[in-house]
Amino acid sequence: MSVKRESPIKILIADDQDDILTAARLLLKGEGIRADTTTRPEGVLEKLKSESYDVVIIDLNYTKDTTSGAEGLDLLKHITEKQPGLPVIVMTAWATINLAVEAMRQGAQDFVTKPWDNERMLHAIRTQTELYRSRQRELRLEGENRILRNQQQNKLIGESPPVKEMMDTISRVAPSDACILITGENGTGKSMIARIIHDLSSRGEFPFISVNMGGLPEALFESELFGHVKGAFTDAKSDRMGRYELADTGTLFLDEIGNLPENQQTSLLRLLETGEFERVGSSKTRKADARIISATNANLEEKVANATFRQDLYFRLNTVTIEIPPLRERGEDILLLAESFLERYKEKYRKPLSSFSSKAKDLLLSYEWPGNVRELDHAVEKAVLLSEEGEVQPSRLGLSNAKTGSYSLDEMSLDDVEKYYIQRALKRYGGNATDAAKALGLSRSAFYRRLQRHDL
């Protein structure tokens, strides 16, 4: 992928005189600046609905023999209300200091008189474009930081044959722009694998934005993915970029894609096919270029057969499928991971611990790990917190009898019991969160809140 270059300046000019518009177009064309024109205030608002501009230049008078500037000031008010931050330069042949001050007070960024000085006009356009694009970049960075704040970047630990085979596949497909579907049980590290693929790709220096598709409330799906404009709904107090736009030139990771409701699959399919979208509350079509990596613990082929997941969307998502092996099939990786977590947590909690006892190692190796790597991580952290010094003993890991799989509920906290039953339900229904929630008598949103609380 080539590095994205700054696009040419694009402006909109409104004036009631055709000769003024012609002169402006000729001047700007020679400077490589694209200019759309209109002779009516209504034309400005119509074009802003369907096009994006760096600067808008408006006359202050449109009706013959009118010199008050009221028409232009009214148009300025509408522009600043509908697109806050978009630079507006006002111009008039009837310039007065008072009118210039009033235009600036109402939101104009600059003021020129007719006939204009070419250098002055070009300087104003370029200055306002640079400031506007800088503000847009800041907005993008704010969005990225909001999403990526506190996000940890992990490295894959593992020497087992299944992991080596998986990493070989990743090394082959990561440099491409192909859509990748990552499958695996809960807790296997799907989001980490997505991040590794991004880092190994040509987009690695650009944004990596993730969104949990299953956890998105239906009413906020389009706002989160596509963004919204000010006033689109009650809490929309300002324009906001969606996740796809934030991921432009980088990667968008769609986690839990198998739980996406059917009525939202059509919107996602269109995005994958065209890269085009509209922010909620706007009819303006935008376009971005983000690589799509998705992940699920559900059987999408089964969902397609049951007509609960669109076949065309499934084909779009899985140009390449990467399956992460469950921890119980990774053999020697279990102790490698456990030792890594131990080093992390004994440093974090300042505990003088050496390693795991031989019996603790036996337990780690014989346990089934229904929660996979995430469960191992939590078990080691818990053991570190409960241990004082020396070796970590098996009782501190808080695991069930590995051979019988039995749990003593009397020895478990209420949180542990809830977590245990959620894991059992997920395992029973093949990782399908919707079915597991129904079996436990919970709504989907309530189930996802519990998944987040237990970090499942």
pLDDT in tens, 73-128: 999 999 988 888 899 999 877 656 677 778 888 989 988 888 888 999 999 999 99
Same domain, 319 and 189: yes
Q: Which of 113, 145, 177 is the last residue of a domain?
A: 145
User: What phi and psi, each to the nearest 5 degrees, are found at residue 90?
Assistant: -100, 150
Same domain, 348 and 434: yes
- Whether 175 is in a domain gets the answer yes
- Whether 425 is in a domain gets the answer yes
- Whether 151 is in a domain gets the answer no
Same domain, 287 and 334: no
Beta strands 240-241 and 227-228, pairing class: antiparallel
Number of domains in the chain: 3
User: Average pLDDT, stretch 51-58?
Assistant: 91
- Whether 45 is in a domain gets the answer yes
User: Average pLDDT, stretch 136-142?
Assistant: 73
* pLDDT of 179 over the 60 cut: yes
Query: Distance between CA atoms of 307 and 291, rounded to whole angstroms?
Result: 26
CATH number, domain containing residue 250: 3.40.50.300
Task: Give, rounded to a whole angstrom, the gap between the first and last alpha carbons of the chain.
Answer: 35
pLDDT for 261 = 85
Q: Which of 323, 358, 381 is the last residue of a domain?
A: 323
pLDDT in tens, 209-259: 999 887 777 778 889 899 988 888 888 888 888 999 999 999 999 999 998
Q: What three-state secondary structure class fits 83?
A: coil
Same domain, 134 and 176: no
Same domain, 314 and 338: no
Answer left, alpha or beta for residue 46, where phi above 0 means left and psi between -120 and 50 means alpha. Answer: alpha
Same domain, 347 and 312: no
- Whether 154 is in a domain gets the answer no
Q: Which of 263, 297, 323 is the last residue of a domain?
A: 323
DSSP codes, 355-418: EE-HHHHHHHHHS--TTHHHHHHHHHHHHHHH--SEEEPGGGG----TTT----GGGS-HHHHH
Same domain, 239 and 339: no
- Whether 5 is in a domain gets the answer no
Same domain, 305 and 176: yes
* pLDDT of 160 over the 60 cut: yes
Same domain, 312 and 333: no
Domain of residue 414 covers 328-453
CATH number, domain containing residue 71: 3.40.50.2300
Same domain, 112 and 178: no
E strand or H helix that includes residue 139: helix 118-148
Same domain, 31 and 120: yes
Q: What three-state secondary structure class fits 249?
A: coil
Same domain, 171 and 90: no
What is the percent of the chain with per-residue pLDDT over 90, rounded to a whole number?
A: 44
Question: By mean pLDDT, which of 23-37, 113-127, 132-146 is the weakest?
Answer: 132-146
